[in-house]
Amino acid sequence: MTSQVKSAPFQKLGYRWRLANKRLVLPVLLIAMLAAPATRELTVSVLADAFWQVAAYVAITLALYHSLSERLSHQSAVTLRLKSSRRYQVVFASVMGALPGCGGAIIVITQFVRGQLSFGSVVAVLTATMGDAAFLLLAAKPATGLFIIMIGLVVGILSGWLVDTLHGGAFLQPQNAEATASCCRTTSSRNQAPAVRWQGTFWQWLLIPSAVIAVMGSFQLNTDALLHLPEGSITVLGAFFALIAMLLWSLSRDIQGYQDAVSEDPKSDKASLFQRVAQDTNFVTTWVIGAFLCFEVTIKLTGWDIAASLSHWSAALPLAGVLIGLIPGCGPQILITSFYLHGAIPMSAQLGNALSNDGDALFPAIALAPKAALIATVYSSLPALFVAYSYYYFFE
């Protein structure tokens, strides 16, 4: 009996190694591309860029974000005062949505379901949030990321106030105020996979060194020479670390449905800071690598200039960005942001996507208040269309 208990974690790990685990598809494909001489150089370059230019910055940003969140979460005086004014509720919701990641938006959704926030707050948070795509944009283009976040914050506040004026604060609130969002982001620590702990250990050791090397690379310093390493060592090392991060993400959970592929993994209620950082960082990194590979392999195989081709459809691109933003989950939105960073789509399309996308917050909204989620999503797409096409006509 004892041996059966001890072997349980290894049985679960073996289950995740099985070929039916769809998360292993991308790591296996990458290993095959690394083994093939024709695609090895391209794959190493994509993996290294994703790790040093994105993952390292996302990890350090998430570490700061989660550290601050833990300290601020204990101050409940602000949340108690929100009950007195719907206008403050909308401002609070927009600020929570403007925070990178999906945690703030999910908090607002659950508070709406419990009757603590107005429907306008839901529209505000869904308009303001960029989800995990904000981390990618802040890592690659900090000034642009902050600009879009501020636009989302302002548009979210104005949209929320307008909706509350039209419908009132109790509009579409579920009757069951005791409904909880246990389905959203938290799981029991007993279900925590060994790979989740390994992810935390991985980033605990690499967080500071990778951030230092990433900053050195951003300043165009020769990191190989400065660290007295053979030429190309940092590139190979980055590719290796990126592949390990993807493997750990693949082993942490199987794909049972759409949400498992496109959203952050649920966090254990006992998860450490580094485990939380690692789970979100590796999720973002995996989608970024997939997007980068799609872009680079398409160009290599076909010679297709995506940016030039899409320029003929420039008037439709803001609409496309808004429509893709309606797809639940952060994965598709990371894909759009990756295309923007490669110059394939214009700023107007990125703006439309940033304002219309709801990140992972749409999953608990659909589960707990489906009618409110649908109407709020439609409402958030209207200012997204207005802002995207305003930017298109005035600046592009």
Please report whether residue 5 resides in a domain: no
CA angle 84, 382, 264 (to 5 degrees): 75
Place of tokens 């195989």: 301
Q: What percent of the chain has pLDDT over 70?
A: 84
Q: How confident is the model at residue 78 (pLDDT cuts 50, 70, 90)?
A: low
Q: Span 31-50, mean pLDDT? A: 92
Write out 267-296 in H/E/C secondary structure: EECCCCHHHHHHHHHHHHHHHHHHHHHHHH
Distance from C-alpha of 61 to C-alpha of 59, rounded to nearest angstrom: 5
Please report whether residue 76 resides in a domain: yes
User: Pick from 241, 270, 273: which is nearest to 63 by CA?
Assistant: 273
Which of 187-191, 335-339, 387-391 comes out lowest in average pLDDT? 187-191
C-alpha dihedral sign at 341, 345, 350, 356:
negative
Distance from C-alpha of 286 to C-alpha of 396, rounded to nearest angstrom: 32
Q: What tens digit of pLDDT does each residue of 223-257 get? A: 999 999 999 999 999 999 999 999 988 888 777 77
User: Pick from 287, 284, 279: which is nearest to 198 by CA?
Assistant: 279
Mean pLDDT, all residues of the chain: 82
Under 8 Å between Cβ of 138 and 146: yes
Under 8 Å between Cβ of 315 and 346: no
pTM score, whole prediction: 0.80
The answer, yes or no, to whether residue 119 has pLDDT greater than 50, is yes
Q: What tens digit of pLDDT does each residue of 283-327 get? A: 989 998 988 888 888 887 777 766 677 777 889 999 999 999 999
Which of 135-139, 278-282, 303-307, 309-313 comes out lowest in average pLDDT? 303-307
Please report whether residue 65 resides in a domain: yes
The answer, yes or no, to whether residue 18 has pLDDT greater than 60, is no
Please report whether residue 117 resides in a domain: yes
pLDDT for the residue numbered 6: 43
Please report whether residue 267 resides in a domain: yes
Q: What is the DSSP letter of 191?
A: G
CA 276, distance to chain mean position in Å, is 13
pLDDT for the residue numbered 144: 95
Structure tokens at 182: 């246990």
C-alpha dihedral sign at 352, 355, 359, 361:
negative
The residue segments making up the domain with residue 260 are 29-174+193-395
Q: How confident is the model at residue 189 (pLDDT cuts 50, 70, 90)?
A: very low
Residues forming beta bridges with residue 295, ordered by sequence position: none
Higher-confidence residue: 207 or 66? 207
Higher-confidence residue: 193 or 93? 93
Q: Span 133-147, mean pLDDT? A: 91
Please report whether residue 58 resides in a domain: yes
Under 8 Å between Cβ of 264 and 360: yes
Distance from C-alpha of 358 to C-alpha of 362, rounded to nearest angstrom: 6
Q: How confident is the model at residue 69 (pLDDT cuts 50, 70, 90)?
A: low
Higher-confidence residue: 1 or 197? 197
Structure tokens at 154: 């302002």
Under 8 Å between Cβ of 333 and 133: yes
Structure tokens at 126: 């869904």
Q: How confident is the model at residue 188 (pLDDT cuts 50, 70, 90)?
A: very low
The answer, yes or no, to whether residue 151 has pLDDT greater than 70, is yes
The answer, yes or no, to whether residue 38 has pLDDT greater than 60, is yes
Residue 108, SS3?
A: helix
The answer, yes or no, to whether residue 205 has pLDDT greater than 70, is yes
- Tell me the Ramachandran region of residue 363: left when phi exceeds 0, alpha when psi lies from -120 to 50, beta otherwise: alpha
Place of tokens 């649908």: 374
Total domains in the chain come to 1
Write out 341-386 in H/E/C secondary structure: HCCCCCHHHHHHHHHHCCHHHHHHHHHHCHHHHHHHHHHHHHHHHH
Please report whether residue 180 resides in a domain: no
